[in-house]
Amino acid sequence: MSDFQDRTIQELYNLKRRGAQWHALQAANEVGIFGVLDSGQRTVTQLAETLSLNQEAVEKLMKVLVQTEMVEQYGDDFALTTLGSLIPAATRSFGNDSWEKLVDHLKTGEGVDDTTWSAELDSREWTMTPAAINAMKCLDIGKTRTGLRILDVGCGSGVFGIAFAHRDSTSRITFLDKANQLKRAKETMESVGVESQILWAECDPATELEMFQAEEPFDLIIVSNRVHQMNVIDQEAMYVKLHSLLKPEGELALIDVFTGQENGLGDAAIFDLESALRVGGQVCDGPRMEYSLKASGFRQVQFAWLPCEPHLYGLMLATR
């Protein structure tokens, strides 16, 4: 048998394996196995008895689940992996309800109203820590850019702003977001110890940004993971507003999903499809964004990749 035939057979079974694992994850979530494992490791017998399931069938299912990133085995006991325990119960369907409407999306191009999308993005915001570190290095925070007054628009858990504050103790960061998101940022801040550098502005960046007023202009404004969810008209309205909040020579850093990094092409394609399906968004269009930024008053626009997992993010820097 040729190497080509061997590879083809391997690819076939890899595809079959991924399909089986996905269905196993969905079934385990639906019958409550992950919920039981939230409270500690269990044997097959304990899982079957607790959930009134067939023990033999559960045993077979668990053998498939340990092939995934969600479950691990210790002797006769099964437990959630570290990753499995980090995924909130509300998002363990991985958007399956929306994915089931993919055929309709292909016919109409319309997204679905997925109430779990925002929570799912929040739950994996910590995975942007490498991107925050790369952005910090790209901007040379704490060296050529030091003592900055920074506004973090739609801060979420504060991954970017807190990284910048930790790198440069002379910076001052204003976190702007809704109350529930500011609560998350405060929890992150308390674990890092940068309280003296942080200010808070409660404002929904999607609906109230135009009304936000600052006591003095900012040196740097950060906007992460927002542009891909916005249409061009809303983008340009945001750029104009943020332009007005910057000092002369101030800078706007847009950190978002752009396609182009070789290691991230597959993830970018999935992100593009999932965003369109679940929220009506899409991977950022760099040339279109540059045009809009300059039309909004910014005079210079630069771009850099953030070369880290998941190889999706880039930084577009616009100078007032």
Query: At the top level of CATH, which class does the domain 3-86 belong to?
Result: mainly alpha
Q: For the domain bounded by 124-319, which CATH number is listed?
A: 3.40.50.150
- Domain positions in the chain: 3-86, 124-319
**pLDDT confidence of residue 310:** 87
Does the pLDDT of residue 220 top 80, yes or no? yes
pTM score, two decimals? 0.86
What token pair was written down for 251?
């800078």
Same fold flag, 3-86 and 124-319 = no
DSSP symbols for 251-303 = EEEEEEE-S--GGGHHHHHHHHHHHHHHTS-----HHHHHHHHHHTT--EEEE
Residue type at position 55: Q
Does the pLDDT of residue 210 top 90, yes or no? yes
Q: What is the pLDDT of residues 47-92, one digit of tens each?
A: 999 999 999 999 999 999 999 999 999 999 999 999 999 888 888 8
Checking 180-187 for CB contacts under 8 A at 24+ apart, the result is: 181/154, 181/155, 181/156, 181/157, 182/155, 184/122, 184/156, 184/157, 184/158, 185/155, 185/156, 185/157, 185/158, 185/161, 187/157
Whole-angstrom distance, CA of residue 22 vs CA of residue 61: 12
**pLDDT confidence of residue 1:** 67
Name which residue leads in pLDDT, 59 or 125.
59
